[in-house]
Chains A and B, each alone.
Chain A
């Protein structure tokens, strides 16, 4: 472009004026910005074209080529997405869980998508208008059980969120699944609170908290937390939901327990898949998990000895206080036998079968049918 100043040069005997640096402005940035494009072509794998399948474009579908490679250790301490070109020299964010064996489950990506597809909103999806006044003793019992279930959900929330940020980006599927799990727990928290406050009752008495403490004190790693939170407590909660759904008083309760059950089943599925992976890929982990399970059973038994939850369940199962001791407790016993059978089945599947006789009392008594010893 022709320069007017150049067309009219300064007289030769006068020195050229000293150039004054212009004030830097954003619009100068626009004029002066010379692109470098030095980021272009920096990729570890190009030409990837993942197509949506019958169920859409799922997280697991993306695991093609290098993008699906999940190393046994993830040393990168940044948020470098798996498969991206890392940027060197960045100060670490500080992730504690960098071994695949410490969190992995092959099913995490599928469970993540399933959780999203099966989302529900307690405010609008639960048919609250189907709740009708219940006899006072039953309402008391249900409110007591809901209080315990709110506490269980609270421990889910506090435990999962306490570990989530410590997990490396290289295993993003697990982080993402756990985001759904803590969100599920948030929904359970509000939903059971809503049920307790919706029908002329209120919240009951807080639980004894032994298992809560045991879960929250899992300092040995996420795997330990999984054993306590999702296997010991998880299997128990799952069984509770099943029985409470069976003895629901109205469609609202049926809906709540059925949906909470489906959510919890995903959490337990992750747990079992993770433990299977962990014991297969980490030295000594099988024995560690065995030990944790034995310790956990002791804590669980101590909580179960507390009469509050048991009696509240018996009132619900018996249809009132009058039949709680007989019919209600019989169903409670059946529920506990179901729980113990489920739990022992999990242990068996994980390759660490438990001898029912060695379960702490009185848990061991539920390992056999009531008339087995007769």
Chain B
């Protein structure tokens, strides 16, 4: 490097004043020798220049335990005089890491959508009053619960060291997704001669709720595996639930987003299982609690009256076909449970279904009876 480095100075007031008053300063340039690994040349691939493409050399190495308390970008040169600003609670890699974070993040960016312009709102036509009320009750519920998955991941992002920036990026995309879900269901409630109805309180501050989790993996098992998993199954039934093209599009796009969030939870749990086996029993306890929520109030086809009744009306096509709707609810619930079991098996905790710890198999059998 053809640069003469002068004496390093952390502060150089005069130079700035010289810039202000137009006189020519003498430059220090010592910073040119203080860099992270040099000669890095990440190349764009088939999907552009992704964050996986820049995870090369030391820049791709996330530490097992982060000692970065200044918020320094991973791989940058440290400055001893820099302030410690990060009181990060999440500093161990296995607490938050997953192997496919960069893929999920880049996919999230590619699949962003607009509830204002991508939903064909003009296809909504007036519905019978009982069906519209049921739609609005469901939309009220979804407006209420969707942003739990925005508020809570946001809080954990602020507590996580930037050395694990890849999972943080996915969580930030999730906050954005949930914001859109909150607004699209509000829009649906107010677009067709109805209005919002009664909130359920399903996301109140109960012990064991997503909000009150004290650990990221605990939160993720409740939010991503159980809660969003159940909602994902439901959204995938959009063709069955939708009364028009607008609703089909809403459910399809929301399902796409939810699938990423659920994938985050599964992949994180798998990583945790493989790298911190001493925490497996603890994770099973979280899953015990999460399974309690599978048929509970936070599930629209759970056993909470306002949402399950409204779902039965929507799925049956009116109050007079309520029983048909209930049959479909039970089928959806069965599918939710089956998909939940697959996810937990995929995450590496399948033994709970073999050793009698989980009630899920029993619930599936009961639903099939």
Contact = CB atoms under 8 A, between A and B. Distances in A.
Interface in A39-76: 39-52, 55-59, 62, 64, 67
Interface string B173-198: 10110111011001100111111111
A128 B211 CA distance: 41
Contacts of A221: none
A203 B172 CA distance: 23
B47 A123 contact: yes
Most buried by A among B11, B32, B73, B186: B73
A213 B85 CA distance: 5
A344 to B, nearest CB: 15
Given A79-B199, A172-B182, A208 B41 contact: no
B199 A84 contact: yes
Interface string A10-41: 00000000000000011101100101111111
B176 A180 contact: yes
Contacts of B244: none
Interface string B288-309: 0000000000000001011001
Given A165-B155, A194-B51, A189 B147 contact: no
B9 interface: yes
B151 A164 contact: yes
A36 B305 contact: yes
A79 to B, nearest CB: 5
A79 B330 contact: no
B197 A203 contact: no
Contacts of B176: 179-180, 182-183
Contacts, number: 431
B25 interface: yes
Contacts of A33: 326
A305 B12 contact: yes
Contacts of A58: 116
A128 B51 CA distance: 13
B18 interface: yes
Interface stretch (B104-112, B225-233, B263-271, B349-357): B104-112
B72 A362 contact: no
B170 to A, nearest CB: 9
Interface stretch (A149-157, A264-272, A349-357): A149-157
Interface string A170-191: 0010011001101101110110
A83 B205 contact: no
A201 B39 CA distance: 5
Interface in B334-367: 334, 363, 366-367
Interface stretch (B91-99, B138-146, B252-260, B276-284): B138-146
A46 B135 CA distance: 13
Contact of A150 (B29, B73, B180, B182): B73
B152 interface: yes
Interface residues of B, number: 135
A75 B10 CA distance: 49
B227 to A, nearest CB: 13
Contact of A157 (B21, B26, B35, B157): B157
Nearest to A369: B22
A116 B180 contact: yes
B49 A202 contact: no
Contacts of B151: 164-165, 175
A292 interface: no
Contacts of B241: none
Contacts of A129: 44
Given A321-B29, A324-B27, A203 B15 contact: no
A206 B140 CA distance: 46
A91 B204 contact: yes
Contacts of A308: 31
Contact of B197 (A42, A57, A93): A42
B40 interface: yes
A158 B158 contact: yes
A47 B27 contact: no
B190 A87 contact: no
A193 B32 CA distance: 17
Nearest to A126: B49
A371 B2 contact: no
B317 interface: no
B274 interface: no
Given A84-B144, A308-B31, A79 B203 contact: yes
Interface in A328-344: 329-330, 332-333, 336
Contact of A30 (B17, B130, B323): B323
Given A55-B117, A91-B206, A165-B155, A202 B75 contact: yes
B59 A81 contact: no
Contacts of A345: none
Given A27-B366, A46-B195, A208-B81, 17 more contacts: A26-B334, A27-B330, A87-B199, A90-B201, A116-B180, A147-B73, A164-B150, A164-B154, A180-B179, A182-B157, A183-B172, A200-B40, A208-B79, A212-B85, A305-B16, A307-B11, A329-B19
Interface of B: 1-3, 9-13, 15-22, 24-29, 31-32, 34-42, 44, 47-51, 54, 56, 59, 70-73, 75-79, 81-83, 85-86, 105-106, 109-110, 112, 114-117, 119, 121-122, 130, 133, 136-137, 140, 143-145, 147-148, 150-152, 154-155, 157-158, 162, 165, 168-169, 172-173, 175-176, 178-180, 182-183, 186-187, 190-201, 203-206, 211, 303, 305-306, 309-310, 312, 319, 322-323, 326-327, 330, 333-334, 363, 366-367, 369
10 contacts: A35-B322, A39-B137, A51-B191, A158-B71, A158-B158, A175-B147, A176-B183, A206-B76, A209-B85, A365-B20
- Report, nearest first, the 3 A-B pairs whose CB atoms are least far apart: A56-B116, A365-B20, A123-B48
Interface of A: 25-27, 29-30, 33, 35-52, 55-59, 62, 64, 67, 78-81, 83-87, 89-94, 112-113, 116-117, 119, 121-126, 128-129, 136-137, 140, 143-144, 147, 150-151, 154-155, 157-162, 164-165, 169, 172, 175-176, 179-180, 182-183, 185-187, 189-190, 193-194, 196-210, 212-213, 216-217, 304-308, 310-312, 314, 321, 324-326, 329-330, 332-333, 336, 361-362, 365-366, 370-371, 373
